Amino acid sequence: MNTYKRALQAWGKEPQMLQAIEEMSELIKEILKNINRKKDNVAEIIEETADVEIMLEQLKVCYGIKQQVEDYKTAKLQKINQRLDKWEAGIHE
């Protein structure tokens, strides 16, 4: 069993989803410190990004939505690419 599933089984879905929220808020705080207070906190941003990614993996296992998220991302990135093509061509809509 992978670590994400083990964590969900050991510690429970709801506590892990609350942990996901906590980790996202920690990343938000570090980004805000970096921008608003011009803080040199790249090390903290690295840590909190990793924490959030680990929790997002657990979230996908928790809700059984790994493939759906992947599919949505593929479609979304296509749309973003199309918008960027227009943007870079000077068509700002």
Output 53 or 70, the one with its CB closest to Mg ion: 53
Output 51 or 60, the one with its CB closest to Mg ion: 51
Question: At closest approach, how far in Å is the CB of 22 from Mg ion?
Answer: 7
How far apart are alpha carbons 48 and 63 in whole angstroms?
22
**What string of DSSP letters covers 21-53?**
HHHHHHHHHHHHHHHHS----HHHHHHHHHHHH
Question: At closest approach, how far in Å is the CB of 62 from Mg ion?
Answer: 18
Q: Which of 26, 33, 44, 60 binds Mg ion (CB under 5 A)?
A: 26
Determine if residue 64 is left, alpha or beta; phi over 0 gives left, psi from -120 to 50 gives alpha, anything else beta.
Answer: left
Check residue 51 for interaction with Mg ion (CB under 5 A): yes
User: Among the candidate windows 5-13, 20-28, 57-65, 76-84, which touches Mg ion by CB under 5 A?
Assistant: 20-28
Contact 8, 58 (CB under 8 A): yes
Output 3 or 78, the one with its CB closest to Mg ion: 3
